[in-house]
Every structure is written in structure tokens, then in C-alpha cells.
Amino acid sequence: MAQSVLLLVGDDYEDLELHYPRLRLREAGHVPVVIGALAKTKYRGKHGYPGVSDRAIDAVDANAFAGIVVPGGWMPDKLRRDPRVLDLVRAFDRANKLVASICHGGWICISAGIVRGKHYTGSLGIKDDLVNGGALFRDEAVVVDGHHVSSRHPDDLPQFMAAVLAVLAR
């Protein structure tokens, strides 16, 4: 069954961590919807690849989507300061819907206060942040804890997306 899934975008996102999941979701029959601070806006990836938002963050309702994917890069450090982003991630968590983060994307989950007591991974650069946020850190390619899926870096994308698709299939 096709489900709509949100993906966050903002300047300095990790290019592969947005586009690989977007394409894999589409390939699996889902509807990826890219959201940023503004709708129909081009954001620059860390490596220069453009990511265009379909909708604005404040124009989406978590009830209409099966989950959210949070790419890494430096983007999450800025977006985690936006209360709309944190409220949206919390809404997915409360509803036991997919919350998937890769690399530095875990920063948003930390700031949303949803990692405490959960098994998580992410870039080693945010390991201390995850631990200080109460997560049980594991240095593995992908970690699944209920509806939470996390990975470390672009090389883990195949395992990450296999786990994301498995959670969506539940």
C-alpha cells in the first residue's frame, strides 16, 4: 500500500541522505514529500546538489503521513532550532509512526526529546549528544527500536532504507 512519507530539507543537507531515501521510497511505491522552511524552494546540499521542497514545514499535518526521514549534514543543526520541526517530529513519535534519522539527523530527534531510553546510532560526531539525550548508543550500520530507525552515514544507506521500508510495511 502506497504511503506518503516526509523528508526534511534545508541548506547544507547531506546530498545522498536526502536523495537516496527519496528515490528508494518512490521505487517501493511510496510517495516521498520533501519539506523545508519554504515551499517550492531550492536548497543547496553540502556537495552542491539541489534539493527542492514540495511543501513548507508549517503546511503539513503528521496525521496525513506514515513517517518522517531526517537526513544529516549541517542542516539538522539549524532546523532543530525551529519549534515547528520539533513539534512535527514529536507528533510522529507520539503516533508510533516512522521516525528515521541518519548521520547528524539525530540532532533533531535529540532536540525533540524523543531519544531517551531508545537504542540509537548516528554519526560518531553526535554520539555524546545522543548519550546526553538519554539514548542507548550503538555503533552499528542501522538500529531499529520500535518505530525509530537510525544510521551513521551515507555508506549505511542500503541498510537504513531496508529498515525504513520494513517499518513502513508493518
**Model pLDDT, residue 34:** 98
The total number of structural domains in the chain stands at 1
| Residue 104 is a catalytic residue | yes
In whole numbers, what is the pLDDT of the chain averaged over residues?
Answer: 97
Supply the range of the domain harboring residue 133.
Answer: 4-169
- The mean per-residue pLDDT over the stretch 44-51 comes to 96
Residue 1 has a pLDDT of 75
Return the bridge partners of 56, or none: 36
Identify the CATH number of the domain in which residue 77 sits: 3.40.50.880
CA distance 44 to 167: 29
Catalytically annotated residue among 30, 103, 147, 153: 103
pLDDT band at 67 (very low <50, low <70, confident <90, very high): very high
103 is catalytic: yes
The beta strands (E) that lie in the chain are given as 4-8, 31-36, 42-44, 50-52, 55-56, 67-70, 98-102, 119-120, 136-137, 142-145, 148-151
Catalytic one of 104, 147, 148, 153: 104
Query: Considering the entire predicted model, what is its pTM?
Result: 0.97
2 pLDDT above the threshold of 90: no
Please compute the mean of the pLDDT values over residues 67-86 and round it to a whole number.
97
Q: What is the pLDDT confidence band of residue 50, given thresholds at 50, 70 and 90?
A: very high
